[in-house]
Amino acid sequence: MQQVPVVTIFVRHSADCPHAGDEFFKRCNCWKHLRWTQGGRQYRKATKQKTWAGAERVKREVEHSYEKLGKPAEARQPMGVQQAVDTFLSSKHGQSLTGGVLKKYKRELQKFVRFCDVRGRFALAEVTPNDMVDFRSGWEQDYPSSQTRQQVQARLKSFFRYAHNLGWIAVNPAVALSPIKAEEPPTLPLTPEQYQTLLNKIPEVFSDSVKAARVHAFVRCMRFTALSIRDTTCLPKERIVYDKAKKVTKVLTYRQKTGAYVGVAVPPDVAQELAAVPNDSPKYVFWNTGNGKPSTAVSHWQDDLRELFRAVGMPEGHPHQLRDTAAVEWLNAGLDIMDVSKLLGHSSVAITEKSYAPWVKSRQDRLDDKVMATWNKA
Protein backbone atom coordinates (compact mmCIF):
# COMPACT_ATOMS: atom_id res chain seq x y z
CA MET A 1 0.00 0.00 0.00
CA GLN A 2 1.34 3.41 -0.97
CA GLN A 3 2.17 5.66 1.96
CA VAL A 4 0.94 9.22 2.21
CA PRO A 5 3.95 11.57 1.95
CA VAL A 6 4.63 14.45 4.29
CA VAL A 7 3.55 17.56 2.41
CA THR A 8 5.17 20.83 3.49
CA ILE A 9 3.88 24.35 2.85
CA PHE A 10 6.49 27.00 2.07
CA VAL A 11 6.41 30.59 0.85
CA ARG A 12 8.02 32.13 -2.20
CA HIS A 13 8.29 35.74 -1.12
CA SER A 14 8.19 38.67 -3.48
CA ALA A 15 11.36 40.74 -3.76
CA ASP A 16 9.97 43.55 -1.60
CA CYS A 17 8.49 41.34 1.13
CA PRO A 18 10.04 42.14 4.54
CA HIS A 19 9.84 38.44 5.48
CA ALA A 20 11.80 37.16 2.47
CA GLY A 21 14.21 35.27 4.71
CA ASP A 22 11.55 33.09 6.33
CA GLU A 23 9.96 30.61 3.94
CA PHE A 24 7.51 29.46 6.63
CA PHE A 25 6.14 32.90 7.54
CA LYS A 26 2.34 32.56 7.45
CA ARG A 27 0.92 36.08 7.50
CA CYS A 28 2.38 37.81 4.44
CA ASN A 29 0.57 38.20 1.13
CA CYS A 30 3.05 36.15 -0.92
CA TRP A 31 2.30 32.96 -2.87
CA LYS A 32 2.24 29.68 -0.94
CA HIS A 33 3.69 26.47 -2.43
CA LEU A 34 3.92 22.77 -1.52
CA ARG A 35 6.77 20.27 -1.65
CA TRP A 36 7.01 16.61 -0.78
CA THR A 37 9.09 13.52 -1.57
CA GLN A 38 7.59 10.29 -2.90
CA GLY A 39 9.36 7.29 -4.42
CA GLY A 40 12.74 9.02 -4.27
CA ARG A 41 11.50 12.03 -6.25
CA GLN A 42 10.83 15.51 -4.95
CA TYR A 43 7.63 17.21 -6.05
CA ARG A 44 6.62 20.85 -5.96
CA LYS A 45 3.20 22.35 -6.51
CA ALA A 46 1.93 25.94 -6.65
CA THR A 47 -1.19 26.24 -4.48
CA LYS A 48 -2.29 29.48 -6.22
CA GLN A 49 -3.17 30.72 -2.74
CA LYS A 50 -1.83 33.67 -0.78
CA THR A 51 -3.33 32.66 2.57
CA TRP A 52 -1.95 29.87 4.72
CA ALA A 53 -5.48 28.52 5.23
CA GLY A 54 -5.96 28.28 1.48
CA ALA A 55 -2.64 26.45 1.14
CA GLU A 56 -3.69 24.03 3.89
CA ARG A 57 -6.77 23.18 1.84
CA VAL A 58 -4.67 22.38 -1.24
CA LYS A 59 -2.26 20.40 0.95
CA ARG A 60 -5.18 18.26 2.20
CA GLU A 61 -6.27 17.66 -1.39
CA VAL A 62 -2.78 16.38 -2.30
CA GLU A 63 -2.68 14.12 0.75
CA HIS A 64 -6.18 12.87 -0.01
CA SER A 65 -5.14 11.95 -3.56
CA TYR A 66 -2.38 9.70 -2.14
CA GLU A 67 -4.78 8.21 0.40
CA LYS A 68 -7.14 7.21 -2.41
CA LEU A 69 -4.30 5.46 -4.26
CA GLY A 70 -3.56 3.39 -1.19
CA LYS A 71 -7.15 2.18 -0.59
CA PRO A 72 -8.73 -0.84 -2.22
CA ALA A 73 -11.53 0.18 -4.59
CA GLU A 74 -14.15 -1.83 -2.71
CA ALA A 75 -13.42 0.06 0.52
CA ARG A 76 -14.32 3.43 -0.94
CA GLN A 77 -17.79 4.62 0.01
CA PRO A 78 -19.75 6.77 -2.47
CA MET A 79 -19.76 10.43 -1.54
CA GLY A 80 -23.20 11.65 -0.49
CA VAL A 81 -24.58 14.87 -1.99
CA GLN A 82 -24.95 16.62 1.38
CA GLN A 83 -21.52 15.44 2.54
CA ALA A 84 -19.92 16.68 -0.68
CA VAL A 85 -21.57 20.08 -0.32
CA ASP A 86 -20.49 20.38 3.32
CA THR A 87 -16.88 19.50 2.45
CA PHE A 88 -16.82 21.96 -0.44
CA LEU A 89 -18.22 24.77 1.70
CA SER A 90 -15.61 24.08 4.38
CA SER A 91 -12.89 24.41 1.75
CA LYS A 92 -14.33 27.76 0.65
CA HIS A 93 -13.96 29.15 4.16
CA GLY A 94 -10.19 28.98 3.72
CA GLN A 95 -10.16 31.15 0.58
CA SER A 96 -10.70 34.55 2.24
CA LEU A 97 -14.09 34.98 0.54
CA THR A 98 -16.50 37.57 1.91
CA GLY A 99 -19.41 36.48 4.07
CA GLY A 100 -21.81 37.47 1.31
CA VAL A 101 -20.16 35.19 -1.25
CA LEU A 102 -20.04 32.26 1.17
CA LYS A 103 -23.71 32.82 1.94
CA LYS A 104 -24.55 32.60 -1.78
CA TYR A 105 -22.61 29.34 -2.17
CA LYS A 106 -24.45 27.85 0.80
CA ARG A 107 -27.89 29.04 -0.33
CA GLU A 108 -27.51 27.80 -3.90
CA LEU A 109 -25.94 24.44 -3.06
CA GLN A 110 -28.58 23.70 -0.43
CA LYS A 111 -31.19 24.22 -3.16
CA PHE A 112 -29.30 21.62 -5.16
CA VAL A 113 -29.32 19.22 -2.17
CA ARG A 114 -33.10 19.58 -1.84
CA PHE A 115 -33.51 18.98 -5.58
CA CYS A 116 -31.45 15.78 -5.31
CA ASP A 117 -33.52 14.59 -2.32
CA VAL A 118 -36.72 14.95 -4.34
CA ARG A 119 -35.15 13.03 -7.24
CA GLY A 120 -33.77 10.30 -4.99
CA ARG A 121 -30.16 11.16 -5.85
CA PHE A 122 -28.44 10.65 -2.49
CA ALA A 123 -24.94 9.86 -3.82
CA LEU A 124 -23.19 12.52 -5.88
CA ALA A 125 -22.21 9.97 -8.52
CA GLU A 126 -25.90 9.31 -9.18
CA VAL A 127 -26.49 12.86 -10.51
CA THR A 128 -26.85 12.82 -14.30
CA PRO A 129 -26.43 15.57 -16.93
CA ASN A 130 -30.22 15.52 -17.41
CA ASP A 131 -30.64 16.25 -13.69
CA MET A 132 -28.42 19.30 -14.08
CA VAL A 133 -30.45 20.60 -17.03
CA ASP A 134 -33.71 20.10 -15.13
CA PHE A 135 -32.28 21.79 -12.04
CA ARG A 136 -31.31 24.86 -14.06
CA SER A 137 -34.72 25.04 -15.76
CA GLY A 138 -36.25 26.50 -12.60
CA TRP A 139 -33.74 29.30 -12.17
CA GLU A 140 -35.58 32.01 -14.10
CA GLN A 141 -38.23 32.17 -11.39
CA ASP A 142 -35.68 32.25 -8.58
CA TYR A 143 -33.18 34.52 -10.35
CA PRO A 144 -34.85 36.93 -12.83
CA SER A 145 -31.51 38.53 -13.74
CA SER A 146 -29.52 36.69 -16.41
CA GLN A 147 -26.33 38.01 -14.81
CA THR A 148 -27.31 36.40 -11.50
CA ARG A 149 -28.08 33.10 -13.24
CA GLN A 150 -24.68 33.26 -14.90
CA GLN A 151 -22.98 33.68 -11.52
CA VAL A 152 -25.06 30.89 -9.92
CA GLN A 153 -24.03 28.53 -12.72
CA ALA A 154 -20.37 29.45 -12.30
CA ARG A 155 -20.55 28.63 -8.58
CA LEU A 156 -22.33 25.33 -9.25
CA LYS A 157 -19.72 24.37 -11.84
CA SER A 158 -16.91 25.16 -9.40
CA PHE A 159 -18.49 22.70 -6.94
CA PHE A 160 -18.56 19.92 -9.54
CA ARG A 161 -15.00 20.65 -10.68
CA TYR A 162 -13.91 20.31 -7.06
CA ALA A 163 -15.79 17.01 -6.74
CA HIS A 164 -14.35 15.69 -10.00
CA ASN A 165 -10.78 16.67 -9.08
CA LEU A 166 -11.07 14.78 -5.79
CA GLY A 167 -12.39 11.68 -7.53
CA TRP A 168 -15.85 11.75 -5.98
CA ILE A 169 -17.40 11.51 -9.46
CA ALA A 170 -16.00 9.88 -12.59
CA VAL A 171 -17.89 12.20 -14.95
CA ASN A 172 -18.74 15.84 -14.35
CA PRO A 173 -22.50 16.22 -15.05
CA ALA A 174 -22.24 20.02 -15.06
CA VAL A 175 -20.67 19.90 -18.53
CA ALA A 176 -24.26 19.60 -19.79
CA LEU A 177 -24.93 23.20 -18.74
CA SER A 178 -24.46 25.44 -21.75
CA PRO A 179 -23.22 29.02 -21.19
CA ILE A 180 -25.78 31.60 -20.08
CA LYS A 181 -25.71 34.80 -22.07
CA ALA A 182 -25.99 37.67 -19.63
CA GLU A 183 -27.97 40.72 -20.67
CA GLU A 184 -25.81 43.63 -19.60
CA PRO A 185 -27.75 46.35 -17.78
CA PRO A 186 -27.09 49.77 -19.31
CA THR A 187 -24.77 52.16 -17.55
CA LEU A 188 -27.05 54.86 -16.18
CA PRO A 189 -25.19 57.88 -14.82
CA LEU A 190 -27.29 60.62 -13.32
CA THR A 191 -27.64 63.87 -15.19
CA PRO A 192 -26.52 66.99 -13.30
CA GLU A 193 -30.21 67.89 -12.91
CA GLN A 194 -31.11 64.46 -11.47
CA TYR A 195 -28.20 64.55 -9.07
CA GLN A 196 -29.06 68.03 -7.84
CA THR A 197 -32.71 67.05 -7.45
CA LEU A 198 -31.65 64.14 -5.24
CA LEU A 199 -29.68 66.46 -2.97
CA ASN A 200 -32.48 69.04 -2.82
CA LYS A 201 -35.04 66.39 -1.86
CA ILE A 202 -33.10 65.02 1.11
CA PRO A 203 -34.38 67.51 3.78
CA GLU A 204 -37.96 66.78 2.69
CA VAL A 205 -37.59 62.99 2.77
CA PHE A 206 -35.62 62.90 6.02
CA SER A 207 -37.14 65.41 8.43
CA ASP A 208 -34.57 64.61 11.14
CA SER A 209 -31.79 67.11 10.45
CA VAL A 210 -29.07 64.72 11.68
CA LYS A 211 -30.30 61.94 9.41
CA ALA A 212 -30.60 64.37 6.50
CA ALA A 213 -27.00 65.52 7.02
CA ARG A 214 -25.77 61.93 7.05
CA VAL A 215 -27.67 61.02 3.86
CA HIS A 216 -26.50 64.19 2.10
CA ALA A 217 -22.85 63.41 2.90
CA PHE A 218 -23.31 59.74 1.93
CA VAL A 219 -24.71 60.61 -1.51
CA ARG A 220 -21.94 63.13 -2.21
CA CYS A 221 -19.28 60.68 -1.04
CA MET A 222 -20.47 58.01 -3.49
CA ARG A 223 -20.78 60.58 -6.28
CA PHE A 224 -17.22 61.90 -5.96
CA THR A 225 -15.33 58.75 -4.91
CA ALA A 226 -17.20 56.10 -6.96
CA LEU A 227 -17.14 53.81 -3.93
CA SER A 228 -19.77 51.07 -3.79
CA ILE A 229 -22.53 51.39 -1.22
CA ARG A 230 -20.84 48.73 0.93
CA ASP A 231 -17.43 50.42 0.83
CA THR A 232 -19.02 53.80 1.59
CA THR A 233 -20.94 52.36 4.54
CA CYS A 234 -17.76 50.80 5.96
CA LEU A 235 -15.43 53.72 5.13
CA PRO A 236 -12.96 54.19 8.01
CA LYS A 237 -12.22 57.77 9.09
CA GLU A 238 -8.50 57.10 8.77
CA ARG A 239 -8.96 56.69 5.00
CA ILE A 240 -9.72 60.40 4.64
CA VAL A 241 -6.32 62.07 4.43
CA TYR A 242 -5.02 65.52 3.57
CA ASP A 243 -2.24 65.78 0.98
CA LYS A 244 -0.15 68.72 2.18
CA ALA A 245 1.93 68.85 -0.98
CA LYS A 246 -1.10 69.19 -3.27
CA LYS A 247 -3.31 70.86 -0.66
CA VAL A 248 -6.20 68.52 -1.36
CA THR A 249 -8.12 65.93 0.64
CA LYS A 250 -8.18 62.37 -0.67
CA VAL A 251 -10.32 59.39 0.17
CA LEU A 252 -8.23 56.22 0.08
CA THR A 253 -10.44 53.73 -1.70
CA TYR A 254 -8.91 50.44 -2.86
CA ARG A 255 -5.72 48.71 -1.82
CA GLN A 256 -3.57 47.54 -4.71
CA LYS A 257 -1.55 44.32 -4.81
CA THR A 258 1.48 46.32 -3.75
CA GLY A 259 -0.31 47.24 -0.52
CA ALA A 260 -0.62 50.92 -1.44
CA TYR A 261 -4.04 52.54 -1.55
CA VAL A 262 -5.54 54.42 -4.47
CA GLY A 263 -6.58 57.90 -3.38
CA VAL A 264 -9.43 59.85 -4.97
CA ALA A 265 -9.24 63.61 -4.55
CA VAL A 266 -12.54 65.19 -3.51
CA PRO A 267 -13.69 68.85 -3.66
CA PRO A 268 -12.96 70.90 -0.52
CA ASP A 269 -16.63 71.26 0.43
CA VAL A 270 -17.14 67.48 0.16
CA ALA A 271 -14.07 66.93 2.36
CA GLN A 272 -15.46 69.34 4.96
CA GLU A 273 -18.82 67.59 4.88
CA LEU A 274 -17.25 64.16 5.36
CA ALA A 275 -15.24 65.43 8.32
CA ALA A 276 -18.41 66.76 9.94
CA VAL A 277 -20.70 63.73 9.46
CA PRO A 278 -22.59 63.18 12.74
CA ASN A 279 -21.73 59.67 13.90
CA ASP A 280 -21.23 57.84 17.19
CA SER A 281 -18.51 55.53 15.94
CA PRO A 282 -14.92 56.72 16.49
CA LYS A 283 -13.72 54.49 13.64
CA TYR A 284 -16.19 54.84 10.76
CA VAL A 285 -17.58 57.80 8.84
CA PHE A 286 -21.09 56.42 8.23
CA TRP A 287 -21.41 53.17 10.16
CA ASN A 288 -22.97 54.30 13.43
CA THR A 289 -21.80 51.54 15.74
CA GLY A 290 -19.17 49.62 13.80
CA ASN A 291 -20.57 46.50 15.45
CA GLY A 292 -22.71 43.72 14.05
CA LYS A 293 -22.72 42.61 10.43
CA PRO A 294 -21.70 45.05 7.69
CA SER A 295 -24.46 43.61 5.51
CA THR A 296 -27.07 44.85 8.00
CA ALA A 297 -25.68 48.39 7.96
CA VAL A 298 -25.52 48.31 4.15
CA SER A 299 -29.14 47.16 3.99
CA HIS A 300 -30.26 50.18 6.04
CA TRP A 301 -28.46 52.56 3.67
CA GLN A 302 -29.96 50.81 0.66
CA ASP A 303 -33.43 51.34 2.09
CA ASP A 304 -32.73 55.04 2.68
CA LEU A 305 -31.43 55.63 -0.85
CA ARG A 306 -34.30 53.70 -2.44
CA GLU A 307 -36.70 55.90 -0.53
CA LEU A 308 -34.88 58.98 -1.81
CA PHE A 309 -34.94 57.79 -5.44
CA ARG A 310 -38.66 57.07 -5.22
CA ALA A 311 -39.31 60.52 -3.76
CA VAL A 312 -37.78 62.22 -6.83
CA GLY A 313 -39.78 60.11 -9.26
CA MET A 314 -37.08 57.52 -10.03
CA PRO A 315 -38.58 54.26 -8.66
CA GLU A 316 -36.03 52.18 -10.57
CA GLY A 317 -33.10 54.30 -9.40
CA HIS A 318 -30.33 52.61 -7.44
CA PRO A 319 -27.19 53.66 -5.52
CA HIS A 320 -24.84 52.23 -8.17
CA GLN A 321 -25.87 55.12 -10.43
CA LEU A 322 -23.85 57.42 -8.18
CA ARG A 323 -20.76 55.29 -8.85
CA ASP A 324 -21.60 55.29 -12.57
CA THR A 325 -21.92 59.08 -12.47
CA ALA A 326 -18.43 59.49 -11.05
CA ALA A 327 -16.91 57.09 -13.58
CA VAL A 328 -18.61 58.72 -16.57
CA GLU A 329 -17.65 62.22 -15.42
CA TRP A 330 -14.00 61.14 -15.21
CA LEU A 331 -14.12 59.61 -18.68
CA ASN A 332 -15.89 62.62 -20.18
CA ALA A 333 -13.19 64.80 -18.66
CA GLY A 334 -10.62 62.88 -20.69
CA LEU A 335 -9.14 60.54 -18.05
CA ASP A 336 -7.59 57.44 -19.54
CA ILE A 337 -9.76 54.35 -19.05
CA MET A 338 -6.87 52.54 -17.33
CA ASP A 339 -6.70 55.32 -14.74
CA VAL A 340 -10.47 55.18 -14.27
CA SER A 341 -10.24 51.40 -13.87
CA LYS A 342 -7.72 51.90 -11.06
CA LEU A 343 -9.93 54.52 -9.38
CA LEU A 344 -12.90 52.14 -9.53
CA GLY A 345 -10.88 49.30 -8.03
CA HIS A 346 -11.50 46.95 -10.94
CA SER A 347 -9.20 43.93 -11.15
CA SER A 348 -8.91 44.36 -14.92
CA VAL A 349 -9.38 47.22 -17.37
CA ALA A 350 -11.52 44.80 -19.41
CA ILE A 351 -14.18 45.05 -16.70
CA THR A 352 -14.15 48.85 -16.99
CA GLU A 353 -14.35 48.74 -20.78
CA LYS A 354 -17.29 46.35 -20.60
CA SER A 355 -19.35 48.85 -18.61
CA TYR A 356 -18.02 52.23 -19.66
CA ALA A 357 -16.56 51.94 -23.17
CA PRO A 358 -19.35 54.09 -24.74
CA TRP A 359 -18.34 56.95 -22.46
CA VAL A 360 -14.62 57.08 -23.27
CA LYS A 361 -14.16 60.63 -24.57
CA SER A 362 -10.87 60.00 -26.39
CA ARG A 363 -12.41 57.10 -28.27
CA GLN A 364 -15.43 59.15 -29.30
CA ASP A 365 -13.21 62.06 -30.35
CA ARG A 366 -11.15 59.72 -32.52
CA LEU A 367 -14.30 58.34 -34.14
CA ASP A 368 -15.57 61.87 -34.77
CA ASP A 369 -12.28 62.83 -36.44
CA LYS A 370 -12.41 59.78 -38.71
CA VAL A 371 -16.01 60.44 -39.72
CA MET A 372 -15.32 64.14 -40.40
CA ALA A 373 -12.29 63.18 -42.51
CA THR A 374 -14.61 61.36 -44.89
CA TRP A 375 -16.59 64.53 -45.61
CA ASN A 376 -13.97 66.03 -47.91
CA LYS A 377 -13.59 62.75 -49.77
CA ALA A 378 -17.34 62.65 -50.30
CATH of residue 260's domain is 1.10.443.10
What is the mean pLDDT of the segment spanning 174-201? Answer: 86
Domain boundary pick from 58, 75, 92: 75
CA distance 124 to 10: 34
CA distance 267 to 248: 8
| Number of other residues whose CB lies within 10 A of the CB of residue 200 | 10
Query: How many residues belong to the chain?
Result: 378
The residue segments making up the domain with residue 342 are: 192-366
Looking at residue 367, its pLDDT comes to 72
The answer as to whether 373 is a domain residue is no
The answer to whether residues 250 and 343 belong to one domain is yes
The answer to whether residues 203 and 317 belong to one domain is yes
pLDDT in tens, 149-184: 999 999 999 999 999 998 899 899 999 999 988 776
Q: Which of 270, 217, 263, 219 is nearest to 241 (CA)?
A: 263
The answer as to whether 181 is a domain residue is no
Query: 1-15, 217-231, 304-318 — which is least confidently predicted?
Result: 1-15
Strand, helix or coil for residue 253:
strand
Q: Does the reported pTM lie above 0.85?
A: no
Q: Are 260 and 196 in contact (CB under 8 A)?
A: no
Radius of gyration of the CA atoms of the chain, in A: 26
CA distance 16 to 258: 9
CA distance 108 to 242: 45
The answer as to whether 374 is a domain residue is no
pLDDT in tens, 169-178: 989 999 999 9
pLDDT in tens, 20-59: 888 888 889 999 999 887 776 788 899 999 998 888 889 8
* Complete DSSP assignment for 85-108: HHHHHHHHGGGT--HHHHHHHHHH
The answer to whether residues 128 and 169 belong to one domain is yes
CA distance 32 to 83: 28
Strand, helix or coil for residue 1:
coil
With a cut of 80, say whether residue 366 has pLDDT above it: no
- CATH assignment of the domain containing 109: 1.10.150.130
The answer to whether residues 139 and 252 belong to one domain is no
Residue 77 DSSP code: P
Per-residue confidence band for 198, with pLDDT thresholds at 50, 70 and 90: very high
Domain boundary pick from 129, 148, 176: 176
With a cut of 60, say whether residue 74 has pLDDT above it: no
The answer to whether residues 209 and 353 belong to one domain is yes
Exposure pattern of 312-330 as b/e (b: 16+ CB <10 Å)? bebeebbbebbbbbbbbbb
Taking the alpha carbons of 225, 329, 352, 197 in that order, is the dihedral positive or negative? Answer: positive
The answer as to whether 230 is a domain residue is yes
The answer to whether residues 209 and 228 belong to one domain is yes
Calculate the alpha carbon distances from 239 to 24, 130, 223, 350, 352 in Å. 32, 51, 17, 27, 24
What is the mean pLDDT of the segment spanning 140-145? Answer: 84
The answer to whether residues 96 and 234 belong to one domain is no
Per-residue confidence band for 75, with pLDDT thresholds at 50, 70 and 90: very low
The answer as to whether 302 is a domain residue is yes
Q: Are strands 8-12 and 31-38 parallel, antiparallel or unpaired?
A: antiparallel
